[in-house]
């Protein structure tokens, strides 16, 4: 199945912990399947933002094991693990992008031409989703620790969504003030932000709604005023229900 319109689910949310402490698909993953129109989703996860670490890949497989998700992965380090990368990605219901370094992620994608393949997948109805770096990447940019422990502005995102994107908005002390700083001084354009646990749903390039996997997290609209201040507006946020 495919989404009814080109769909991106850009989040600060991901796996949940089961009663035994193991990773299990989060409400956000199951919502991605709902957006794709299937109860038995094929999901391909991408971990280039963490350098395709074997441990990271294994954690994803463990998280989806024994569930309704049919999981595969695409790695690019040290070389692609699929002979037909385009064919594999276009056959998915969901492509989910892991967190890490958004700067490295986008650079590696461009070297491999993956940006063009992902754009084709998006336009064809494959739901594109991700957390943290996997949220910022679709936008013009956002705040990132890709360059070191101090947050800096990343301005070289794919730009399909013509906004800035702030992740972990309530989860890290400097995320909110840095987004205000970068938008206020014009380094980043107007955009949106998500608390940990929240996600932005885009239909085409328009924000359709904000969702959250638990009560409390929200999404926000961030707009620069003429005097350089930034107006932050909390957005209506729908609580996702258990599957």
**Selected catalytic residue, list 60, 73, 88, 168:** 168
b/e burial code for range 76-105 (CB count within 10 A of at least 16 → b): beeeeeeeebeebbbebbbbbbbbbbbbeb
**Selected catalytic residue, list 29, 60, 73, 132:** 132
H helices within 100-235, ranges in order?
A: 102-112, 114-124, 133-136, 175-184
88 in active site: no
Angle of CA points 101, 107, 111, to nearest 5°: 145
Neighbour tally for 37: CB within 10 Å = 14
Three-class secondary structure of residue 117 per DSSP: helix
Task: Tell me the sheet residues that pair with 239.
Answer: 212
List, in sequence order, every beta strand (DSSP E) within 114-177.
127-131, 139-144, 152-154, 161-166
132 in active site: yes
DSSP secondary structure letters along 5-25: S-EEEEES---EE-TTS-EE-
Please tell me what DSSP assigns to residue 49.
G
Upstream peptide bond of 241 is cis (omega within 30 degrees of 0): no
Q: Which residues are annotated as catalytic?
A: 132, 168
């Amino acid at each position: 199945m495919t989404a009814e319109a080109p769909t991106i689910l850009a989040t600060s949310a991901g796996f949940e912990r089961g009663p035994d402490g193991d990773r299990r698909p989060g409400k956000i993953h199951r919502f991605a399947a709902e957006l794709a129109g299937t109860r038995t989703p094929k999901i391909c996860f991408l971990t280039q933002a963490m350098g395709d670490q074997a441990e990271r890949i294994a954690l994803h497989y463990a998280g989806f094991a024994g569930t309704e998700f049919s999981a595969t992965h695409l790695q690019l380090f040290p070389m692609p693990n699929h002979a037909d990368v385009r064919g594999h990605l276009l056959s998915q219901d969901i492509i989910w992008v892991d967190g890490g370094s958004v700067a490295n992620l986008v650079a590696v994608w461009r070297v491999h031409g993956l940006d063009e393949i992902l754009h084709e997948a998006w336009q064809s109805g494959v739901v594109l989703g991700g957390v943290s770096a996997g949220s910022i990447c679709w936008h013009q940019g956002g705040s990132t620790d890709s360059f070191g422990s101090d947050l800096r502005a990343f301005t070289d995102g794919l730009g399909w969504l013509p906004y800035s994107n702030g992740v972990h908005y309530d989860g890290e002390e400097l995320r909110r003030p840095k987004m205000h700083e970068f938008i206020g001084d014009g380094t980043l354009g107007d955009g949106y932000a998500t608390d940990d646990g929240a996600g932005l749903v885009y239909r085409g390039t328009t924000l359709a709604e904000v969702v959250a996997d638990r009560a409390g997290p929200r999404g926000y609209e961030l707009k620069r005023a003429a005097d350089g201040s930034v107006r932050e507006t909390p957005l209506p946020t729908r609580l996702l229900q258990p599957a």
